[in-house]
Amino acid sequence: MEAIDSKGATFANSALVPAGYSKTSHVGLTGYWVGKYAPTGDLAPIGGTYVTYTTDSGSGAVVKSTYKRPAMPAKGLPN
Amino acid sequence: MKKVRLLSLLSVTALVTTVLITAPSVANAAPACDGKSPIQSCVGVTSDGAPYAMQVPANFNGTVALYSHGYRYNIDIPVGIPLIGGYKVTNTPEPVPGGNADVAKYFFSQGIAIVGSGFARQGWNPDSAIATNVELIDTFKKQFPTTTKVIAWGSSLGGVITQGLAEKHPGLVSAVAPMCMADNVAPELTMAGDFLWGIKVLFDPTIKAGNYSAGAAGNAEAYADLVKVFTVMGKLQAGLSSGAWPDTSSATGKSLQAAGVPSRSALLLLGLMSGLPTQSAHFDSISGPDGALKLTFPLAVSPALAVLENGTNAAALAILATQDVELQAGGAIFDNTKTDYAARVDTERVIFNAALSGNTVIDALLGALSTANPGAPRAVGNPAAIAKMKALHTNTGKINVPTILMVGVADPITPAGASQRVVDLYVEQYAADKAAAIKAYQTTRTYKTPQKNLLMLWNTTPANYTKFDAAGSPITSTPAAQGTNHCNFTSAQLVLVAKTLVAAASTGKLPTGGALNTAVRKAGNLSMDKGISIPYLKSYGDNL
Amino acid sequence: MKALQRRTLLTATAVLATVGLAVSAIPAQAAEVGVTATGIKLGMTLPMTGTASLGYNKIPGAAKAYFDYLNANGGINGRKVTLVVKDDRYVPTEAVAKTNELILKDKVMALLAPLGTANVKAVATSVNPARRGVPVLFVNTGFSGFADAKKYPTTYAVLPSYIMEAKIMGQYIKENFAGKKIGLLYQDDDFGSDALAGFKTAGVNFAVKVPYASGSQGAAAAAGWITKFKAAEADVVILFGVSSATSAMLGTAAQLGYKPQWMLGSVGGDATTIKLTGVPAGVLYNAIGFSPVPATTDMTDEYVKFFSDIYAKAVPGSAFDLNVLLGMNTAFMAAQALKAAGPNPTRKS
């Protein structure tokens, strides 16, 4: 648990939005991208590129995210 | 082997008969003993008029087990009243739980005597019962001067009496076991009062639910309440799947019904806000019949059925104990003018959201039960009577001697939260003992690890236990599941407690380790898990 | 005062040293519960059977697929990660019973991704992982309350909260559907109250709000919902419910020819799950959706490619959908937490 508190926010993972773990908060991912469902029924980002938004569970604003997901660790194994 | 069992069974039965026939008429006289072997029976009456019985084996080893029985109603119940009609007030001595032959046999096999009284008064009686027990111990020691150790145990209110004896007179007892222990008078009767009040304001406003008159008039009011509450429970059962409300419902209840609130959700909310368990003798809130109701039944129906079953079992005691304590206190003892029922169910409303029919229904129900609704008037207590009730014997939870607690996790009458509170207080007490030992080290330079004096045995419910017939209806004719109902212990569990008490009394400390683990496992359905955490009775929340 | 404190501290240390002598005679304390020299055991409760299991019952297979891959590649410092899965059918009391089994009988090190707000709350209350020091890693619910480290000190959220989702939806509505009449279908519990809170913060005004009690959703109920949305002339209808509610609504709407602009919350928005219930893919076309992880069909994404390759080998023939991706992602994050916890991971570390 101490590991998540101190490093959880930087754990590599597939999400396109950042996670918010800290010693005082166990909040997970903090946002979404918006998409449209294709004729096949699959969800795809509007305009073909992911535009992500982040916010909090309080009164904070919804902002376009500048989060750049770190590259996947080698072979998909924890680093 | 079989012979011994028969013998002790006979002895226990014979003893009851003896008490009725030949108890000395002079209070506080020496006990009358029959001089028989291998088990000698003695009877007598304490100075306050409590009949008692002693049974002493020929190979008496100096240890005696004193048992305190639980709550007995303090008024006769007319035959016509459902479930409990025909009860007559009795002070028959009970030297082992329910006359359990296995327990008596075990004690006699170890050369241990048994003793118990029927107490001087019934109803809520710890003050007089503790005094009776103190005198009884003295009487026994005088009659049998080789006595060296006293073990005390008791069930339900007898658990309160037993813990009270150990708190007030630790020097008299070597080890104690309060089983299915009630909480103190105020939290117990707040639970009863909350539930009765809820039943009254939603389902039948003619229920009195406390503030009974004195004397025969008060008895009549209590009888009428018993009949009305049982009738409401019957109607709620009939309307369980349809959601129909009893025809006796209040205007508030009827408007909730018109708004589409199912009566089962209202009943469940009353149970949750009072602190009744959501598992009962036959309803586990887990199982469902095969078919369409497999998920819906446990999710939406079973918790309400559990409250129905638990509430019906608890209602008689709730009414009669309230009446008894009101008589002792001289007025109405239940007051919910300040109770915030919405805060009470803050967590439960999330967990049982489906069974409560969603937030809209929950908010409607809590609104109806709030102080803002004049249609559900709050009960106003008599401050002097409440003060008097609080002055009745109250345990602090302090552990002075090796102590064993055992309780069903879903006991509807003496909720497991009462034992949990003692467990939690002991964690603090032990930490303080440890700090004191460290302080003592500063002067003595020897560190003595404080002794652990509390063993908690949780009587757990099986993984699932609701049974259904071929048509998918739940079966309620089977025996109550372990961990549910009031003081629903097996002989094996009672004997385990007896054995553990004997071991603790002889060594001065509770047994630990592999042998204890094995014995507990063999007794069945018991857990010593230190991580178990049962909520306290709801009224503790009011004081936070 | 200060000197006194120091003296107390010194003697306390001396005592500890004395006590320590006795303790050191006993073999070193056993490793953490659920952790051996060769393995780490985790436990999961979720609906695997019954009506509430649709879609979610693929999560354990997904998580196991990743752990199997991890174990085949050295595990966590040589320890293999195993996952014990128990079916709670989405019944809170059963989740409590099954979680007790995981902790007491199976002796897992941590709970992984338990599902459902009511169930996680029931477990928090009756099993009390916090009191036991048992980590509850990455709960599978977006209820905002579980991020509260004070109230739930051993519980970690992973999904963005329902409040966040509603706020982001609200922003999108402001930017794209200004002046339109908005309708909302939501679950009448904490899931829904979180959503309402988010929409309120975002300043969304609804023409109509339709709550449904959890468990009441179905085709018959959906027809009633549609009547309400039609009566309010909603242009945009937000479905902020579970998969079974979304499916009932879209299926019934298709039959009745009701076609507003749909907007789907992520909880009930997995296309594979919706299509499994018989809803034609075309009904979803042009609906607005939201996700924190890449599109499950986006094979240009390195994670999606990696996870879907592993999953295809581990569970052949099973579609790679949002539940699978999130399940594998959660397992992946758990692996990193275990690795980051040091050479001998404990519940505390």
- Beta-carbon separation of C189 and B358 below 8 A: yes
DSSP-derived letter for residue B294 is H
Token pair of B487 as six digits: 């003081």
Give the Cα separation of B315 and B327 in Å (integer): 18
Could you tell me which residues are beta bridge partners of residue B42? Answer: B33, B54
Portion 88-107 of C in contact with B at CB < 8 A: 89-94, 97, 101, 103-104
- Beta-carbon separation of A27 and C161 below 8 A: yes
Smallest Cβ–Cβ distance between C97 and the set B286, B447, B531 belongs to B286
Check if the beta carbon of residue C229 is closer than 8 Å to that of residue C237: yes
Does A18 contact C at CB distance below 8 Å? no
Check if the beta carbon of residue B318 is closer than 8 Å to that of residue B209: no
Give the Cα separation of B322 and B200 in Å (integer): 15
Check if the beta carbon of residue B342 is closer than 8 Å to that of residue B370: yes
Tell me the DSSP string of C140-174.
B---GGGGBTTTSTTEEE-SPPHHHHHHHHHHHHH
Nearest to C320 by CA among B433, C329, B471: C329
Check if the beta carbon of residue B195 is closer than 8 Å to that of residue B322: no
Nearest to C173 by CA among C231, C228, C236: C236
Q: Which residues of C45-70 are buried (b: 16+ CB within 10 A; e: fewer)?
A: bbbbebbbbbbbbbbbbbbbbbbbbb
Does C197 contact B at CB distance below 8 Å? no
For residue B29, the model assigns a pLDDT of: 76
For residue A79, the model assigns a pLDDT of: 80
For residue C15, the model assigns a pLDDT of: 38
For residue B533, the model assigns a pLDDT of: 86
- Beta-carbon separation of A13 and C336 below 8 A: yes
The residue with tokens 């104690």 is B176
Q: Considering chain C, what percentage of its residues have pLDDT values greater than 70?
A: 91
Give the Cα separation of B202 and B376 in Å (integer): 8
For residue B6, the model assigns a pLDDT of: 27
Residue pLDDT, tens place only, C186-228: 999 999 999 999 999 999 999 999 999 988 888 899 999 999 9
Inside any domain, residue C345 = no
For residue C12, the model assigns a pLDDT of: 38
Check if the beta carbon of residue C225 is closer than 8 Å to that of residue C212: yes
DSSP-derived letter for residue B299 is I
For residue C2, the model assigns a pLDDT of: 37
Give the Cα separation of B116 and B83 in Å (integer): 27
- Beta-carbon separation of C271 and A42 below 8 A: yes
Give the Cα separation of C276 and B446 in Å (integer): 72
**Which has more confidence, C141 or B14?**
C141
Q: If you count residue pairs, one on A and one on C, with CB atoms under 8 Å apart, how many are there?
A: 194
Give the Cα separation of C35 and C40 in Å (integer): 5
Residue C157 has pLDDT above 50, yes or no: yes
Q: If you count residue pairs, one on B and one on C, with CB atoms under 8 Å apart, how many are there?
A: 103
| Subunit partners of chain A (3 or more CB pairs within 8 A) | C
> How many C-beta atoms surround the C-beta of residue B132 within 10 A?
24
Nearest to B264 by CA among B217, B219, B309: B309
- Beta-carbon separation of C144 and A59 below 8 A: no
Same domain, yes or no: C121 and C83: yes
What is the gyration radius of the CA atoms in chain C, in angstroms?
Answer: 24
Does C121 contact B at CB distance below 8 Å? yes
Residue C8 has pLDDT above 70, yes or no: no
Nearest to C63 by CA among C138, C122, C123, C117: C138
pLDDT band at C50 (very low <50, low <70, confident <90, very high): confident
> How many C-beta atoms surround the C-beta of residue B410 within 10 A?
29
Phi-psi region of B447 (alpha: psi -120 to 50; beta: other; left: phi over 0): beta
Token pair of C260 as six digits: 């507003």
CB within 8 A of B181, min separation 6: which ones? Answer: B156, B159, B160, B162, B163, B405, B407, B414, B418, B419, B422
CA B78, chain centre distance (Å) = 24
Smallest Cβ–Cβ distance between C215 and the set B299, B449, B535 belongs to B299
DSSP-derived letter for residue B51 is E
Give the Cα separation of A29 and A41 in Å (integer): 25
Query: Helices C59-72 and C302-314, interaxial angle, to 10°?
Result: 100
For residue C17, the model assigns a pLDDT of: 38
The CATH number linked to C103 is: 3.40.50.2300
Q: Considering chain B, what percentage of its residues have pLDDT values greater than 70?
A: 94
Tell me the DSSP string of B503-520.
HHHHHSS---SHHHHHHH
Does C200 contact A at CB distance below 8 Å? no
CB within 8 A of B342, min separation 6: which ones? Answer: B366, B370
Q: What is the ipTM of this complex?
A: 0.95
CA distance to partner chain A, nearest, from residue C324 (Å)? 12
Token pair of B255 as six digits: 């408007």
Give the Cα separation of B76 and C229 in Å (integer): 62
Check if the beta carbon of residue B413 is closer than 8 Å to that of residue B156: yes
Residue pLDDT, tens place only, B175-211: 999 999 999 999 999 999 999 999 999 999 999 999 9
Check if the beta carbon of residue B95 is closer than 8 Å to that of residue B53: yes
Sign of torsion over alpha carbons C335, C338, C342, C344: negative
Residues of chain A with pLDDT under 50: none
Cα end-to-end distance, chain A, whole Å: 17
For residue B156, give the amino acid letter.
Answer: S
Provide the number of structural domains found in chain C: 2
pLDDT in tens, chain B (544 residues): 222 222 222 333 333 333 333 555 666 778 999 999 999 999 999 999 999 999 999 999 999 999 999 999 999 999 999 989 999 999 999 999 999 999 999 999 999 999 999 999 999 999 999 999 999 999 999 999 999 999 999 999 999 999 999 999 999 999 999 999 999 999 999 999 999 999 999 999 999 999 999 999 999 999 999 999 999 999 999 999 999 999 999 999 999 999 999 999 999 999 999 999 999 999 999 999 998 888 889 999 999 999 999 999 888 889 999 999 999 999 999 999 999 999 999 999 999 999 999 999 999 999 999 999 999 999 999 999 999 999 999 999 999 999 999 999 999 999 999 999 999 999 999 999 999 999 999 999 999 999 999 999 999 999 999 999 999 999 999 999 999 999 999 999 999 999 999 999 999 999 999 999 999 999 999 999 988 889 999 989 764 3
Q: Name the residue range of residue C49's domain.
A: 39-159+296-340
Same domain, yes or no: C169 and C282: yes
Q: What CATH class is the domain B2-184+415-425?
A: alpha beta
CA distance to partner chain C, nearest, from residue B452 (Å)? 17
Q: Which residues in chain C have their CB less than 8 angstroms from residue B294's CB?
A: 50, 89
Q: Which of C190, C322, C333, C338 should we substitute to test contact with A (largest number of A Cβ atoms within 10 Å)?
A: C333
- Beta-carbon separation of A62 and C156 below 8 A: no
For residue C204, give the amino acid letter.
Answer: V
CB within 8 A of B475, min separation 6: which ones? Answer: B282, B467, B468, B469
- Beta-carbon separation of A76 and C69 below 8 A: yes
- Beta-carbon separation of C168 and A55 below 8 A: yes
Give the Cα separation of B230 and B248 in Å (integer): 13
Same domain, yes or no: C261 and C307: no
Smallest Cβ–Cβ distance between C118 and the set B298, B353, B464 belongs to B353
- Beta-carbon separation of C211 and B359 below 8 A: yes
For residue B423, give the amino acid letter.
Answer: V
Nearest to B70 by CA among B168, B2, B153: B153
Sign of torsion over alpha carbons C152, C155, C158, C162: negative
Check if the beta carbon of residue B343 is closer than 8 Å to that of residue B349: no
Could you tell me which residues are beta bridge partners of residue B53? Answer: B43, B116
Nearest to C81 by CA among C127, C126, C39: C39
Q: Which residues in chain C have their CB less than 8 angstroms from residue B360's CB?
A: 188, 211, 213
Q: Which residues in chain C have their CB less than 8 angstroms from residue B527's CB?
A: 104
Same domain, yes or no: C167 and C283: yes
Q: Which residues in chain A have their CB less than 8 angstroms from residue C177's CB?
A: none
- Beta-carbon separation of B279 and C93 below 8 A: yes
Secondary structure (3-state) at C43: strand
Sign of torsion over alpha carbons B321, B325, B328, B331: negative
Q: Which of A40, A57, A59, A79 should we substitute to test contact with C (largest number of C Cβ atoms within 10 Å)?
A: A57
DSSP-derived letter for residue C293 is S
For residue C5, the model assigns a pLDDT of: 38
Same domain, yes or no: C196 and C248: yes
For residue B292, the model assigns a pLDDT of: 84
HSE value, Cβ hemisphere, 13 Å, CA-based, for A51: 12
Q: Which residues in chain C have their CB less than 8 angstroms from residue B350's CB?
A: 117-118, 121, 189-190
CA B378, chain centre distance (Å) = 27
Same domain, yes or no: C281 and C304: no
Token pair of C177 as six digits: 């559907």
CA dihedral B379, B383, B387, B392 (to 10 degrees): -40
Give the Cα separation of B59 and B37 in Å (integer): 10
- Beta-carbon separation of A57 and C164 below 8 A: yes
Report domain extents, chain A: 2-68
CB within 8 A of B246, min separation 6: which ones? Answer: B203, B204, B231, B232, B235, B236, B239, B253, B263
Portion 45-74 of A in contact with C at CB < 8 A: 45, 50, 53-59, 62, 71-72
Q: Which residues in chain A have their CB less than 8 angstroms from residue C286's CB?
A: 36-37
Check if the beta carbon of residue C227 is closer than 8 Å to that of residue C191: no
Secondary structure (3-state) at C84: strand
Secondary structure (3-state) at B146: coil
For residue C30, the model assigns a pLDDT of: 53
Verify B-A touch: 3 or more CB pairs within 8 A. no
Smallest Cβ–Cβ distance between C214 and the set B358, B529, B535 belongs to B358
CA distance to partner chain C, nearest, from residue B311 (Å)? 19
Same domain, yes or no: C281 and C168: yes
Same domain, yes or no: C54 and C170: no
